[in-house]
A and B are shown apart, each in its own frame.
Chain A
């Protein structure tokens, strides 16, 4: 049976991991490759590297990072952050990225998603959507959640699927950072209306939240950052817990 995926997200700035980490025996906690390796050895199913570098100069370092991750890791990884053209995506593919994720650029130019899917195949294209529930409506936001758009989550996700997205990474801004669980009801609705996999993001705090996101939220994958980085939840224990709870995950 196809396993539910656990994904760790690493924020990268100027080629270094930014959030604190509490892995023992890790010499360079800021080294995204070493950190990715540690996660891989712990049994994480995929990694997302999110480049939050603001300067063009710093952004170039992402290529050497991608190359190094591809050389050293044997699990799939996605690169996101600041990708706004077919050329950007092609460079990342050449350096070894398995997938790229686009967010603000897709809102600005939806055709980009069609072009990326046509050129590289839909499996390469993850569309990340940050949305906030305001008066019972999920409003899509861009620029790291700073800018509200006039797009609504479900119709936007459907358009992205039709244009060739291979996966939707949905972050609930209402849940993100609160560690009170994922936006399960909305995730389930999203997952049922789409024919492509949905990655849930925002709200993981306890192991139980992962069980809920896969059962109640009908998500195909769940992504988290701080709870893994700060060691609140260890991947091997999470996997054991999910197996005990009859969730199909890779041991």
Chain B
């Protein structure tokens, strides 16, 4: 199993690499278009700022490649948000794979932002969550979120109900960090590899 991890200098990818390697995958961190398009699976990671991240994708032409991918693609955290149409973070246009806008959390009851720590996911859909029970705790770190919409594959609640995960065709997104979510996170990565 050869997995391409998209390299656009967006945060900590060491842990994603390590988690996949523990599952016996061969990983390659790359921005080469042909390496990405020929991989069995693609991971689209990301931590940081949406505006800067989109600029980095455009500068290497990856913004054109990613929406055309045919194999299973998993966007993690900012990676998932960039697969959406637009982000309120620095008024950034995303890749538009999912027709939904990413918005900032509205802390109406004095909730702390970023949403940081372990929270429960529920209403789990798609084979990504095979063997995973409702209300499993996953590790989240984010200030912007994808609202619940028709492609929501898992929900979470913080200030409001939002998409902990999204899925459409071969594109999957997780707002949480499976590589930081202990054994349950590892199982989600394993499910992704098996897709």
A residues touching B (Cβ–Cβ < 8 Å)? 1-5, 40, 45, 67, 70-72, 74-76, 93-98, 120-124, 166-167, 192, 194-197, 220-221, 250-251
Contact = CB atoms under 8 A, between A and B. Distances in A.
Contacts of B107: 195
Nearest to B181: A74
A157 to B, nearest CB: 13
B11 A120 contact: yes
B180 A98 contact: yes
Nearest to B136: A250
A167 B116 CA distance: 9
A96 B15 contact: yes
Interface residues of B, number: 35
Interface string B153-191: 000011000000000000000000101111101100000
Contacts of B118: 2-3, 5, 45, 250
Nearest to A72: B18
A144 B73 CA distance: 46
Contacts of A40: 182
Contacts of B180: 74-76, 98
B49 A123 contact: no
B179 A3 contact: no
B49 A98 contact: no
Nearest to A67: B14
B182 A75 contact: yes
B116 A166 contact: yes
Contact of A70 (B18, B48, B49, B120): B18
A70 B15 contact: yes
Contacts of B112: 194-197, 220
Contacts of A167: 116
Given A3-B118, A93-B11, A96-B14, A123 B137 contact: no
B46 to A, nearest CB: 10
A121 B47 contact: yes
